[in-house]
């Protein structure tokens, strides 16, 4: 549905407006009391979230493409139904089809001007993927307020078990990657994708980033936090129904070479992703549903 139709059905004067972009995408612009955000219908991709008087919490690359069928570099890409390359189909798109798929807006619920919840739907018929031809219904809700709550639920519409990976691939804005310390992962085993997938426990506490970092923590259920001493910002990432956490920054070489990221943009983002990946992929029984949630809160760095 295009912007005019969405405004007629879901628009809320002064709070929720749908717009066509110059390259033919449709986005929702949310403006509440001090809280703002943007969500593209393509991929149901949240690309901006601001809090009262605060800097943007999410990072979206100034060099990102915003064209139909191209993944937007930033915000919260929905990774589903596989993470990374598709092991059985090298020609399949990296990170699955959900982040470039045409999600449908199913509902909007406003809590005055404090918060707004938008719910999106995607079904197998919307994508007809040859790489994962399962019958499914995905529902994704975004609650924008002073905190951000994201929920991805997948229904198995078949009568047999299906397997899928998933992640909310969140890009956090940071003052500079050198100012960042990530807590909540110490002692957890991670797959180091910069070291050919070697598995080792994280000994550093907190995790700081001084080189390319692409770490998949397969079995962590704890809350993580990003402390950014450059902005005196403490971002808490709580989760439920998600066993894996990924920490990624491409660093100088890869970051500068990415046309939709570049230098110095790579210095101003870190991904801390919530998901169910590899060994922790979801194995969902027939006629059942799995839900994963993440709740993101922002405050000042607590006194030691
Ligand atoms: O989550 C980290 C990662 O898997 C990295 O390996 C890197 O590929 C990143 O995702 C971005 O992937 P993309 O397909 O968006 O360029």
Per-residue pLDDT reduced to its tens digit, 270-292: 999 999 999 999 999 999 999 99
3-state secondary structure of 131: coil
Q: Give the pLDDT score at 52.
A: 85
Burial of 201 from C-beta contacts in 10 A (0-12 / 13-18 / 19+): exposed
- If one counts every other C-beta atom within 10 angstroms of the C-beta of residue 152, the result is 28
pLDDT band at 49 (very low <50, low <70, confident <90, very high): very high
Closest CA to 169 of 59, 285, 251, 86: 59
Q: How far is CA 75 from the centre of its chain?
A: 6
Length of the chain: 304
Q: Give the mean pLDDT of 114-129.
A: 97
pLDDT band at 54 (very low <50, low <70, confident <90, very high): confident
Ligand 1 geometric centre to CA of 125 (Å): 26
Cα 214 to Cα 84: distance, rounded to the nearest angstrom: 12
pLDDT band at 304 (very low <50, low <70, confident <90, very high): confident
Given the residues 95, 169, 268, 290, the one annotated as active site: 169
pLDDT band at 1 (very low <50, low <70, confident <90, very high): confident
**Can you list the alpha helix ranges (DSSP code H) found in the chain?**
3-10, 124-127, 251-257
Structure-token pair, residue 151: 């929920």
Instruction: Please check whether residue 83 is in contact with residue 96, taking contact to mean a CB–CB distance below 8 angstroms.
Output: yes
Cα 85 to Cα 95: distance, rounded to the nearest angstrom: 6
**Active-site annotation holds for 273:** yes
**Active-site annotation holds for 169:** yes
pLDDT band at 127 (very low <50, low <70, confident <90, very high): very high
Of the CA atoms within 13 Å of residue 244, those in its CB half-sphere come to 24
Instruction: Please check whether residue 41 is in contact with residue 26, taking contact to mean a CB–CB distance below 8 angstroms.
Output: yes
| Cβ of 54 below 6 Å from ligand 1 | no
Ligand 1 geometric centre to CA of 270 (Å): 12
Structure-token pair, residue 265: 């943009």
3-state secondary structure of 226: strand
The per-residue DSSP string of 253-292 comes to HHHHH-TTS-TTGGGGEEEEEEEE-GGG-EEE-TT-EEEE
């Amino acid at each position: 549905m295009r912007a005019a139709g969405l405004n007629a059905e879901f628009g809320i004067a002064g709070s929720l407006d749908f717009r066509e972009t110059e390259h033919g995408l449709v986005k929702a612009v949310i403006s509440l009391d001090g809280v703002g955000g943007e969500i593209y219908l393509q991929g149901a991709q949240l690309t901006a979230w601001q809090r009262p008087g605060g800097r943007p919490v999410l990072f979206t690359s100034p060099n990102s493409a915003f064209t139909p069928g191209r993944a937007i570099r930033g915000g919260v890409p929905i990774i589903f139904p596989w993470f990374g390359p598709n092991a059985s189909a090298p020609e399949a798109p990296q990170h699955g089809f959900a982040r470039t798929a045409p999600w449908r807006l199913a509902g909007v619920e406003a809590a005055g001007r404090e918060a707004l919840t938008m719910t999106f739907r995607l079904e197998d018929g919307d994508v007809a993927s040859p790489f994962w031809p399962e019958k499914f219904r995905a529902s994704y809700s975004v609650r924008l307020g002073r905190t951000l709550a994201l929920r991805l639920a997948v229904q198995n519409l078949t009568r047999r078990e299906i397997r899928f990976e998933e992640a909310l691939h969140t890009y956090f804005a940071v003052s500079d990657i050198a100012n960042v310390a990530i807590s909540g992962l110490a002692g957890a085993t991670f797959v180091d994708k910069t070291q050919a997938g070697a598995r080792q426990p994280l000994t550093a506490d907190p995790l700081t980033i001084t080189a390319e970092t692409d770490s998949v923590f397969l079995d962590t259920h704890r809350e993580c936090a990003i402390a950014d001493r450059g902005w005196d910002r403490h971002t808490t990432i709580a989760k439920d129904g998600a066993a894996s956490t990924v920490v990624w920054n491409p660093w100088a070489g890869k970051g500068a070479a990415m046309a939709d990221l570049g230098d110095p943009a790579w210095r101003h983002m870190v991904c801390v992703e919530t998901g169910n990946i590899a060994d922790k992929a979801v194995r969902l029984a027939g006629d059942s549903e799995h839900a994963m949630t993440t709740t993101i809160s922002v405050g000042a760095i607590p006194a030691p």
